[in-house]
Structures are given as structure tokens and as C-alpha cells.
Amino acid sequence: MILVVGLSHRTAPVQVRERLAAGADALPMVLARLASRRELGEAMFLSTCNRVEVVALVASSSSADAARHAIREELARQGGAASGEELAPYLYEKLGDDAVRHVFRVAASLDSMVLGEPQILGQVKDAYDAAIAAGTLKGTLARCMSRAFAVAKRVRSETDIGVGSVSISSVAVDLATRIFGDLSDRTVLLLGAGEMAEAAARSLVKGARALRICNRSFERAAHLAGEMHAAAVPWEGLAEELGVADVVVASTASTTYVVTRQMVQRAMRERKGRTLLFVDIAVPRNVEPTVHGIDNAYVFNVDDLEQEVARGLQARHGHVDAAEAIVQEQVAEFIAWRRGLEVQPTLVAMRAKARTVMLSELETSLRGRLKHLGEPDRAALAQMVESGVNKLLHAPTAKLKVRAAEGEDAAELAAAVRYLFDLQNAAPPAEEAGSEEGEAPSAGEDERLPN
């Protein structure tokens, strides 16, 4: 059974989300802790600016309650909370079919702050790759994530929910434009040179008088600046840059504030009253929140952008129904596949036992009354036994598969078959033991959206 426990921009403010965030460097350790929990069969950790989630498969030997408690403990540990109760008001839980639907909707950007934004699929794929590398994703959950990528691709190609260029980065630029009216006579400083920063740069370069890029790796800043016809500035010059810039868009991976109140106070003395706008789209936040209390300094974080997002999404809402229909169709298909796993071991065991019994009887006869038969006749009899077993078991096999696909009483029927055929030692359901169909797809099997 698949379980999701997490928090998002809908349930928790940024000051809570940033406590649980895990960058690429921290992911292996987080995944190792999740893997050590016997309550979880598989696990993936997704951390973005707007959500932190654990997607897991409940271990065959555990209950959903035990798995839920284990995840809550690990999230509390990640967030430095004294107990899971401290985070409880902010967490949501999805179990079974609801969890599958949630995973598909997240990948398809139907649960994003910016509906239809493309970055989330790349972030989910990064989380998937990290879990595969850590060995925490390998069976049913890997199959679920693979299907989620296919759903996202269909939503992107078959609907117009992603029409336009609305994203967190573009919304940040729109906010700056509305506050200053026009950026053509303004200097914009971009802190960071990663994916989100690059998206912001592409929007900013069209309107700002001057775009300057500051990053810990000057080489990376220079590379992005070359592409954007901007200027790269050294990280050590950040304090001086605050005296020159009118708008600062912050998007670094730092886990501590890179712009402090003290730095801005010094800069504002040099600016002589000129307004300085910070748009902090990083989680954890890059700009100390108390900067907003300084005269003529304004700070907007990702939560503040939510109202701005609503202004640019009206055109997309008309396509939500079509996207949700794709999600629902794919959820139903995945559920049918998963239910089929529940009866597959019973079907395999039933056919194996019937075949073993019949071939054993044939072997006894071939050693006794039929020992005079030559190889052609022996082969013909063996083929007859195989054919008879197939025909005899065709109807129960087909009916059990249909019941599983329809979600009816397949589990009860499978239990009855195991009892009647004395198959009590049949293998556990493939969802628990892993199956060939559930193997993780190869690295190139799923297409990732360009960012």
C-alpha cells in the first residue's frame, strides 16, 4: 500500500517548510534513514520550495499506522522538531488510491502553487533518481513513479494547462515590474545561478536596464551571464551590489541567510532612501525576514507570491478538467495493475501445483504400464498434460483476473483458491515481494520536461 505524508504551501508557511527542506547533498542521508525503517518497504523524499513529502510503500509486515508513525518521526527529525506532534498541524496524509492520485497530480503540476508550471516534474524526477541511486525505490513504488511521469507527459501534450510562461520565477519578475512600473531604468541583481535563477534571468533580461548575477561559483555565474548578456559579479562583492541594485531576486541553495539585516542597513545608508525590493524565491529563505522592517526595503517570499500567482492563472483553469480526467484514467489503470499483483501469486501457485501433480502421475505411468512407449509418444503425452492443465485452469484464471481488475472480491476468491488447492504456502503478493513488472525503469525510459 502506498502512503504519502508531507506538507506543502497549502498547509504550512515557508518558515516551517524550510526547516524540513533537504538539498541534493543531504538527500542520501535522509533516504538512508528512511531505508532503515522496517515499517517502510520503499521510500522517496521530495523537497521543493513549496513541498516536502515522503512517498513510501508500507512494508508487508507493517500496518499503515506503523508506517505513518515512522514517516512522521523521520520528518520531525529532519525538521529538528522535538516530536512529531509539533509538525502534526501542518502535515497531510494520503493512503492507497488517494496516495497514487496525489503523486500523479503533483507530477502533472495540478497541485503546484503555479498551476501547470514545468519545474515540478524535473524536481520529482530528481527525487526519483536519488531514491533509485540509494536503493530505496525498486518495485511497486518505482512503477508508480514511472506511471506518474507518463501522466505528466500526457497532461503537458494533450492539454493547454501549461500555456504561457507563468512560473514562480516569472511571477517574481511580474511583481517587480508592477512595483516599479518599468524595469528599463532599473538594475536587477540575481543571487544564485541554478534552475530557478536561470528561469528568472530569462524573464529579467528582456526588461531590466542591467542584469547582474552573483553566485558562490563565479564560473557558473559567468556562464549564465554569458548566455543572458548580463554581468557576473563575485560573491565577495554582494554587500556592495546591494547598494547598486533596485531589485534583488534571491534563489540560492544556501541553508542560511545570505542577505542579513545588517548588510541591508549598511546598503540603505548608501542608497539615500532609494527603494530596494527583495524577491526571495528560495527555500530555505535567502533573505533575513527582518529586512522587511527596514525603511524602503521590501521582502517578498514564495508564500507572498501566492496572491500574485492567482492573477496570471485564470486562462489555465479552463484546462484543469481535461488534465484531471487524464489523471483519473491513469490512476484507475495503475490500481487495476496493482490489484492484479494481489492474485498473481495464487494463480502461479495454482497452475504450478496442477502441472506438478499431472506430470508426476504421467511420470509414474511412464515408469510402469507405459514404460514401453518411445520418445515421440512420451512427448505427445506430456504435451497433452500441459494442454489439459491450461484448458482446465483457463476459466478460474480469467475470472480471478477480471475480479481483480474490477476491484471486487478478488482477495477473498484468491484466499478460497489457496484453501481449496491447499496453497497456503504460496508466495506473498508481488507488491510486497517485488515483481518483474515493478522493476525500476531505465534512466532513459521516462522523458523529463526541459526546465
**What does each C-alpha distance from 33 to 20, 42, 93 come to in angstroms?**
14, 12, 20
Is the pLDDT score of 72 beyond 90?
yes
- 19-65 pLDDT, tens per residue? 999 988 899 999 999 999 999 999 999 999 899 999 999 998 789 99
Q: Which candidate, 128, 36, 150, 59, places its Cα nearest to that of 428?
A: 59
Q: Are 190 and 249 contacting, i.e. CB atoms less than 8 angstroms apart? A: yes
**What does each C-alpha distance from 308 to 100, 172, 283, 450 come to in angstroms?**
30, 8, 18, 24
User: Active-site residue among 21, 49, 137, 276?
Assistant: 49
Alpha-carbon gap, residue 66 to 88, rounded angstroms: 16
Homologous superfamily, domain 2-164: Glutamyl-tRNA reductase, N-terminal domain (3.30.460.30)
- 379-408 pLDDT, tens per residue? 999 999 999 989 998 988 888 777 777 766
Would you state the pLDDT for residue 407?
A: 64
Q: Are 253 and 196 contacting, i.e. CB atoms less than 8 angstroms apart? A: no
> Which range is least confidently modeled, 52-61, 69-78, 344-353?
344-353
User: How high does pLDDT run on average in the chain?
Assistant: 84
- 286-307 pLDDT, tens per residue? 999 999 999 999 998 888 877 6
Is the pLDDT score of 433 beyond 50?
no
8 phi/psi in degrees, rounded to 5: -145, -175
Q: Is residue 451 very low, low, confident or very high in pLDDT (cuts 50, 70, 90)?
A: very low
* Sheet-wide strand order for 187-191: 231-233, 210-214, 187-191, 247-250, 276-280, 297-301
- Is the CA virtual torsion 56, 61, 64, 69 positive or negative? negative
Alpha-carbon gap, residue 283 to 256, rounded angstroms: 10
Whose cell is 478460474? That residue is 396
Outline which parts of the chain fall under CATH 3.40.50.720. Answer: 168-311
Percent of residues, the chain, with pLDDT higher than 70: 86
Provide the angle, in degrees to the nearest 10, between the axes of the packed helices 140-158 and 97-107: 50
Outline which parts of the chain fall under CATH 3.30.460.30. Answer: 2-164
Q: Is 144 a catalytic residue?
A: no
Question: Can you say how many angstroms the Cα of residue 57 is from the centroid of all Cα atoms in its chain?
Answer: 14
The predicted model gives 340-369 an average pLDDT of 85
Alpha-carbon gap, residue 217 to 195, rounded angstroms: 14
Is the pLDDT score of 166 beyond 70?
no
Percent of residues, the chain, with pLDDT higher than 90: 47
* Alpha-helix residue ranges (DSSP H) falling in 37-118: 64-79, 84-87, 97-107
C-alpha cell at 323: 488534465
- What CATH number was assigned to the domain covering residues 168-311? 3.40.50.720
Alpha-carbon gap, residue 220 to 135, rounded angstroms: 31
- 217-276 pLDDT, tens per residue? 999 999 999 988 899 999 999 999 999 999 999 999 898 999 999 999 999 999 888 999
